[in-house]
Structure 1
Amino acid sequence: MKKLNLVIVGGGSTWTPGLLGSLVKFKEEFPLKKVTLYDIDAERQSHIGRFGEVLFREQYPDLEFNYTTDKDEAFNNVDFVFCQMRTGGLPMREKDEKVPLSLGLIGQETCGPGGFSYGMRSIRDMIELVEDVRSRSKDAWILNYTNPAAIVAVALNMKFPDDHRIINICDQPVNLMKSYGKILGKDYHDFEPKYFGLNHFGWFTNLYDKDGKDLLPELREIILKQGFAPEDAEQRDASWLETYGMVKDMLEDFPDYLPNTYLQYYLYPYYKLSKLDPNYTRANEVMDGREKRVFAECDRIAEQGTLDNLEMVHNDAHADMIVELALSINSNLRKTFIIIQENNGAVNNLPDDAMVELAAAVGSNGCEQYHFGNIDTFYKGLIENQYAFEKLTAEAYFENSYQKALQALTLNRTVNSAKKAREVLDALIEMNGSYFPELR
């Protein structure tokens, strides 16, 4: 089997150590010749890079590994690109969360005004990344899980409509399935999901086991009685535990399907606003918690020069998912993943150009969505409203349109007021400065 060249964009991410561990885990099925970390922040990436040197020296000694800020070194002659960039870093995430909160609106990195802000920043860098890769490795697979994945996917589809080697995916459906597996005492890899919606805005309608039994009714009853927690609850910050806990509330009100956790911001915006601290947000939790723990552990391993007593904070579901996706492509396994892709009739009563999140078979020819059929009026209404927000956001970017940006935020269920939309839009424009296009 051919050995592959892989680059991880956003090499300084605190999720990268877990991803490097997954590459070791799958080295027989997904053999690699070279792995390169790429980041524009050399100092941040060096923590992860020095850890990677120790990891691969001990567990993957025939692998060529390096980390760089040079695009030619990173993107020449690569087969796969894993993309997890964060334009503006955690300091800008903090502003995405705190500026809306200061105006009495939801402050969250991918939902509402914060997601709009993050999306407008991310589009330019994601387009530049695709062009950088294509100019050096025209046939590379770009597996993108950069947030906010919904807006990014819409924008990339507008800019590169014929590039079918860009695959947009999110780990939250997998995180949920892993948590379902823990509740039921089953391996989540054996689940066959039926899922519909948009990124961070979807529902499981069925969850079949390997014998074809639908486990969703049983799961619903367990969650309604016992509540819901992430599979890796002991590694999660307090805000994540509350986020998962809200699944029970959503099921009590809307018991048809199992919801994505992020739906709580759209279904209960006033309640969620009351629970958010405008002075200490999720970004602060990450900077004070996971970021310090991961970097400190990476530095410790690098200094001692061995993996002995490794205590790494990571997310196996996130890391394994992206490697298993690449493996399914490379070996044409046609395994099922929940992918963000243009609808094109997969959901009968949604627009064809909507970037929907649905189950799909993934192989060497890309993604083939499973046909879903019709969705009910309530869910259709929610999705059409949210997709209008996402599409208008991308159009605002490409057209430098203040008017479309205002329309987008006015539509968003966490805002729902043109006056508040204008107020927060003006604040976000000032906050982002040159990160934003000039909106006229």
Structure 2
Amino acid sequence: MKLTVVGGGSTYTPELIDGFARLRDTLPVEELVLVDPAAERLELVGGLARRIFARQGHDGRIVTTSDLDAGVDGADAVLLQLRVGGQAARQQDETWPLECGCVGQETTGAGGLAKALRTVPVVLDIAERVRRTNPDAWIIDFTNPVGIVTRALLQAGHKAVGLCNVAIGFQRKFAGLLGLTPSDVHLDHVGLNHLTWETGVRLGGPEGEDVLPKLLGEHGEAIAGDLHLPRTLLDRLGVVPSYYLRYFYAHDEVVRELGTKPSRAAEVAAMEEQLLRMYGDPALDEKPELLAKRGGAYYSEAAVDLAAGLLGGGGSPYQVVNTLNRGTLPFLPDDAVIEVQAAVGPKGPTPLAVPAVDPLFAGLMANVTAYEDLALTAALRGGRDLVFKALLAHPLVGQYAYAEGLTDRLIAHNREHLAWA
């Protein structure tokens, strides 16, 4: 089995490598190719990757290359984890929206739109080259904004599934609180990427007992603390929202906070410098503890499970993925990309049935789905008017004066990445 990671020079990659090494019985990788144009980073990450494999007794071959076509040739699956513009672009995404009184964040709001505009054309080019070289390969997208990028891939006819680590993080958290193993916990997870709610926590599988009321009753304070939302809100909703919902439920509070502290991008950039120095140490042969603070927790386990399911090697029977709606949520278009539990196999994911969704959540999903449709159109066609319309449609913007100011700033900060600007 050959897997290729595009963006293999990311500081995330050792997390992925550690999972491949530990879970080799689930996903027996014989050749792992790390592709990245940043040769110096790739050499550091590739060296650590080989040492991790060696330490854990994995006899798979790790190859590093900047040649995309060679890297994806013959791959059974291609994982995308790239960041167009790097941390410098992320820094901009998190700062200029604040000038208009809006949330500055890299995956939602105006910053998320900027990332989508930069990313979609690049990902589609990569996917087309994968299809020319190896049309049977699965594409697993971990590149944000996952929902929009996955929709672009599926709309273009690629064999693609989107992946996020939010659900697996909740699964691990809830299992710990309940004193269970993660495989004993099944989430009723519904929404769009980075706009999701846990509406049930079931024991053993999708038909198991729902212990969410018990979980909220006994551990609601701790869960709310992790989300930086009030316990009373969780009790009134009766669900656990993703921490990304704080941008919607406490928008003004978040904007004030972001204006008083260094950006997350600045923190990550400093962390990356330190991680890369550590990766260059020839004595280091395991992922460092610092990597846990970088983000992407449990990404490797989720990626292994998904790749194993798609390639017919096993994995968990049900997994949370980003895939086409196709009637699963009747209030959304069939071609919307939703994030739900699905049975995953060689033919792709099949979403499980979802009970009726509370209008409080369904309304926000419908609003953001309309924004994502406009955002994808803007990414594919370009133009100031399309960018403005996407921003005006986003519930974190929604006012024409904000949308005008954000449009000007988005274009000014991203000209080098926008062919039409």
TM above 0.5, yes or no, is yes
Structure 1 residue 131 corresponds to structure 2 residue 124: no
* Map 1:268-347 → 2, pairs under 5 A: 268-277=250-259, 280-289=262-271, 291-300=272-281, 302=282, 304=283, 307=285, 311=289, 313-314=291-292, 317-331=298-312, 333=314, 335-347=317-329
Q: Structure 1 residue 92: deviation in Å? A: 0.5
Q: Any conservation in 1 of the 2:21–2:58 contact (CA below 8 Å)?
A: no
The one-letter code sitting in structure 2 at the alignment partner of 1:224 is G
Match in the other structure for 1:14: 11
* Map 1:204-219 → 2, pairs under 5 A: 204-210=198-204, 212-219=208-215
Q: Structure 1 residue 324: deviation in Å? A: 1.4
State the superposition RMSD in angstroms: 2.1
Deviations for 1:207-259, whole angstroms, at most 9, x for unmatched residues? 11127221211122234334446xxxxxxxxxxx6xx232746415x423211
Structure 1 residue 371 corresponds to structure 2 residue 353: yes
Alignment partner for residue 119 of structure 2, among 109, 117, 122? 122
**How does the TM-score come out when normalised to structure 2?**
0.93
- 1:325 and 1:125 mapped to 2: Cα distance? 23
Match in the other structure for 1:169: 163
Q: Any conservation in 1 of the 2:175–2:184 contact (CA below 8 Å)?
A: no
The one-letter code sitting in structure 2 at the alignment partner of 1:396 is A
Alignment partner for residue 234 of structure 2, among 251, 263, 271? 251
- 1:316 and 1:34 mapped to 2: Cα distance? 24
Secondary structure at the residue paired with 2:30? Answer: strand
**How does the TM-score come out when normalised to structure 1?**
0.89
Match in the other structure for 1:80: 77
Match in the other structure for 1:98: 95
The one-letter code sitting in structure 2 at the alignment partner of 1:69 is S
Q: Any conservation in 1 of the 2:4–2:32 contact (CA below 8 Å)?
A: yes
Q: Any conservation in 2 of the 1:348–1:374 contact (CA below 8 Å)?
A: no
Q: Structure 1 residue 41: deviation in Å? A: 1.3
Deviations for 1:70-128, whole angstroms, at most 9, x for unmatched residues? 12321111111111111111110001111111232110111100100011111011101
- 2:301 and 2:411 mapped to 1: Cα distance? 37
Secondary structure at the residue paired with 2:95? Answer: helix
Aligned pair in 2 of structure 1 residues 250, 11: CA closer, same or farther (>3 Å)? Answer: farther
Secondary structure at the residue paired with 2:339? Answer: strand
Match in the other structure for 2:178: 184
Q: Structure 1 residue 401: deviation in Å? A: 3.6
Question: How many correspondences in the alignment?
Answer: 415
Alignment partner for residue 218 of structure 2, among 219, 222, 235? 222
Aligned pair in 2 of structure 1 residues 298, 387: CA closer, same or farther (>3 Å)? Answer: same
Gaps of 5+ in 1: 230-240
Secondary structure at the residue paired with 1:331? Answer: coil
Deviations for 1:299-325, whole angstroms, at most 9, x for unmatched residues? 12x2x3x63896562455111110111
Q: Structure 1 residue 183: deviation in Å? A: 1.7
Match in the other structure for 1:355: 337
Stretch deviating more after TM superposition (135-144 or 270-279): 270-279
- 1:32 and 1:227 mapped to 2: Cα distance? 36
- 1:126 and 1:177 mapped to 2: Cα distance? 29
The one-letter code sitting in structure 2 at the alignment partner of 1:313 is L
- 2:112 and 2:171 mapped to 1: Cα distance? 24
Secondary structure at the residue paired with 1:246? Answer: coil
- 1:412 and 1:250 mapped to 2: Cα distance? 23
The one-letter code sitting in structure 2 at the alignment partner of 1:362 is V
Moved >4 Å (runs of 4+): 308-312
Match in the other structure for 1:236: none
Aligned pair in 2 of structure 1 residues 24, 332: CA closer, same or farther (>3 Å)? Answer: closer
Match in the other structure for 2:35: 38
Q: Structure 1 residue 48: deviation in Å? A: 0.7
- 2:149 and 2:288 mapped to 1: Cα distance? 35
Q: Any conservation in 2 of the 1:207–1:216 contact (CA below 8 Å)?
A: yes
Q: Structure 1 residue 21: deviation in Å? A: 0.8
Aligned pair in 2 of structure 1 residues 408, 310: CA closer, same or farther (>3 Å)? Answer: closer
The one-letter code sitting in structure 2 at the alignment partner of 1:327 is A
- 1:309 and 1:126 mapped to 2: Cα distance? 28
Aligned pair in 2 of structure 1 residues 307, 355: CA closer, same or farther (>3 Å)? Answer: closer
Secondary structure at the residue paired with 1:48? Answer: helix
Aligned pair in 2 of structure 1 residues 354, 245: CA closer, same or farther (>3 Å)? Answer: same
Q: Any conservation in 2 of the 1:247–1:259 contact (CA below 8 Å)?
A: no
- 2:204 and 2:286 mapped to 1: Cα distance? 38
Stretch deviating more after TM superposition (56-65 or 266-275): 56-65
Aligned pair in 2 of structure 1 residues 16, 410: CA closer, same or farther (>3 Å)? Answer: same
Gaps of 5+ in 2: none
The one-letter code sitting in structure 1 at the alignment partner of 2:228 is G
Counting aligned pairs with the same residue, the percent is: 28
The one-letter code sitting in structure 2 at the alignment partner of 1:48 is V
Aligned pair in 2 of structure 1 residues 332, 59: CA closer, same or farther (>3 Å)? Answer: closer
Secondary structure at the residue paired with 2:388? Answer: helix
- 2:370 and 2:289 mapped to 1: Cα distance? 44
